[in-house]
Amino acid sequence: MIQRIQTVFLLSVAIIAALLFVFPAEVYASSTETIFYTLLPFGVKEGTSPIIYGLFATNIGLIILAFVSIFQYKNRKKQLKTSRLLMLLSAMQVSLMFVFSLYNKEGYTKDYTWAAYLPLAMIVFSLLAGIFIKKDEELVRSADRIR
């Protein structure tokens, strides 16, 4: 059923991933200019790292996979696997975001905004969705044993 609590968590993952397209995750500042980076690779400046395309693809994959997982409510084992894959993709996004720099010019200082920490929330929501999917599966198995 779509009205389960894990659907709310999976929908939260999709919404958070969409928010990363709107709010800047990294800010690069120099004495003359400030550059804000969202995860959209359109209109990038000279000196932008190609890692922005990986982050964009990962974010699109997170949105699509979250909606796929929501509509797999009839097959809880597949839904559990896709929620674990969501956790893995979110962790990959965190590592890409914090390890690699999106802008590679000298004289700029890098700061993270609050939006840079949203993938950590996606990991938590994916974990919670997996916990509740597992509880549903155990509930169905226990009901099958009673019959």
Structure tokens at 21: 């397209």
Question: For residue 2, which phi and psi values (nearest 5 degrees)?
Answer: -80, -20
Q: What is the pTM of this model?
A: 0.84
Q: What is the CATH number of the domain that holds 65?
A: 1.20.140
In tens, the pLDDT along 48-83 reads: 777 888 888 899 999 999 999 988 888 888 988 999
Mean of pLDDT over the chain: 84
User: Residue 44: pLDDT band by 50, 70, 90 thresholds?
Assistant: low
Instruction: Report the number of distinct structural domains present in the chain.
Output: 1
Mean pLDDT of 36-57: 76
* Measured distance CA(90)–CA(118) in Å, rounded: 9
Cα dihedral sign for 138, 7, 78, 76? positive
- Where do we find the tokens 């996606």? 122
Question: For residue 28, which phi and psi values (nearest 5 degrees)?
Answer: -110, 125
User: Residue 27: pLDDT band by 50, 70, 90 thresholds?
Assistant: confident
Structure tokens at 60: 């699109």
Mean pLDDT of 100-125: 84
Structural domain that includes position 33: 5-146
Residue 5: its pLDDT value, please?
87
Contact 1, 87 (CB under 8 A): no
